[in-house]
Chains A and B, each alone.
Chain A
């Protein structure tokens, strides 16, 4: 894990795999803010970000408020995320692919570190 981000953020568990759901799956690896995360084939990008254990999925541009995906069906746009260099994609509608580079849209890393260490 050479590419761990400079700003280590607090972790948080949102969801866990239900018993037995991982056994027959094929797995792949994506990175979320440079940190490798193992996900199941069929997981969405938004699921990968939550499984990475980030405390905050994204921050709003209007009020700099924390948000998580809300609707999971492409309606609310609260799951906006950068995928392979393209910003503002709806993470709930995109399937995770091997090697995908996912970056949260949380504003400046320095600012985020300050906010999350409050």
Chain B
């Protein structure tokens, strides 16, 4: 028997927690599915067991978010931790937990899968020792680890600056920060002066990061247009090229790179929601209405999975989705929904204006602007290079599906999660079509590789294959 509830929320980050808590408090039967052992998402990872959950060392915002995640964990919302979504058929979600498949059906689905780091492929980025700065930040938050070798930060945007400041606070110091920004924050600031005046705290936060880095005397190398990691079994040297044609090399046993984050759209792609190209954020995002409802009826997206607005905005968009669902299910009146969401609407509008400044201030140079060298691995799983993808276009591949068949790009275990955005860019450049026209990879269930044993353990395993997807 499939359990039937009101709402399934996928992801227990800031958006998922907020949506579920709000719905639960209004008597809407809600279940949260989360891959990690703890709530908090990426941004507040390590809230329960990490060493900084109850300190200000990583900043006041992390401390506040971690406290909220701990409160959520003590609260009444049912959460399945350590589970991964296997498939969604109609309104039924099948997920794997502890080596077994379970199935739950719900009237509405909220996708709160958050963001992932924007992949920024450069030659050697697959070498051990090169990792996302956000990935490293998770390791720091969960385990209290700092680099044990010389390291370099490379990329652009607020997250990279925040990680640099957190490392300095922990007594760790990078060899250098390589700034790959293809925009000018000061010119963007002049154009978005009104948005900045409306969000003074956010502006001070950013200026505080820059001041902290300058005070510490960390070497910042700007106008970097190309990177290459070199080493035999792991990275030893990070080579860089600057806009004026100069180049240099830095010793680095670790390279922590980040050019911002993009929506994690793997699930909404699999659900065949319509997606569109967001030029300001240089990424694909699901098309949603004012409440976060996608083109798939009854499926909502809350938080960064619908477009990057950050952790402060995530609970606000989650609230709008939750209120619309409560209204649809007849649990609140239109007046109540309106009253409850009015403040969130206004706050969200302010967040959007400030985000427009951030989008203009930080443009991902490596991922979106400067040329990608032919030898760069695009698909890390199947080890397909940018050159191989370009050859596929010359051989007649017009879009992601054909390029995938020609090269195996996106056919490994990650199923295109990492190479997807770079593949869209390369095909767009090679064909002259816009990224929006090139579109996304096709994603099919199962969403993650699972064993035959798990498959056989599933509820009516045979029937699942024959179900018609509504």
The interface of chain A, by Cβ under 8 A from chain B, is: 12-22, 24-25, 39-44, 47, 51, 55-57, 60, 62-63, 65-78, 80, 86, 88, 92-95, 116
Q: How many A-B residue pairs have CB under 8 A?
A: 152
**Given the contacts A42-B49, A68-B234, A78-B380, A15 and B131 also touching, CB distance less than 8 Å:** no
CB of B443, distance to nearest CB on chain A (Å): 13
Q: Are A67 and B129 in contact (CB under 8 A)?
A: no
Q: Would you list 6 pairs from A and B whose C-beta atoms are within 8 A, ordered by A residue?
A: A18-B140, A40-B51, A42-B142, A74-B35, A76-B417, A77-B413
Closest B residue to A21 by beta carbon equals: B144
Interface residues of B in 234-272 (CB under 8 A from A): 234, 253-254, 264, 266
B382 in complex: contacting residue of A62, A88, A94, A95, CB < 8 Å? A62
Q: Tell me if B's interface is mostly helix, strand, loop or mixed.
A: loop
Q: Are A67 and B144 in contact (CB under 8 A)?
A: no
User: When A and B form their complex, which 5 residue pairs have the shortest distance between CB atoms, in order from nearest?
Assistant: A42-B49, A21-B144, A72-B135, A68-B128, A21-B51
* Complex-state Cα separation, A41 to B144, whole angstroms: 11
**Counting CB contacts under 8 A, is B374 at the interface?**
no
- The residue among B143, B144, B145, B381 with the most chain A CB atoms within 10 A of its own CB is B143
- State the interface size on chain B (CB cutoff 8 A): 57
**Given the contacts A66-B234, A68-B129, A76 and B148 also touching, CB distance less than 8 Å:** no
CB of A57, distance to nearest CB on chain B (Å): 6
B144 in complex: contacting residue of A17, A56, A71, A88, CB < 8 Å? A17
Q: Tell me if A's interface is mostly helix, strand, loop or mixed.
A: loop
Q: Are A65 and B37 in contact (CB under 8 A)?
A: no
Binary per-residue interface labels of chain B (111-135) against chain A in the complex, 1 for a CB within 8 Å, 0 otherwise: 0000011000000001111111011
Q: Which residues of A lie under 8 Å from residue B49 when comparing CB positions?
A: 40-42, 95
Further pairs besides A69-B135, A71-B116: 13, Cβ < 8 Å = A15-B146, A18-B51, A19-B170, A21-B144, A42-B48, A62-B381, A62-B382, A67-B128, A67-B380, A75-B417, A76-B417, A94-B37, A116-B233
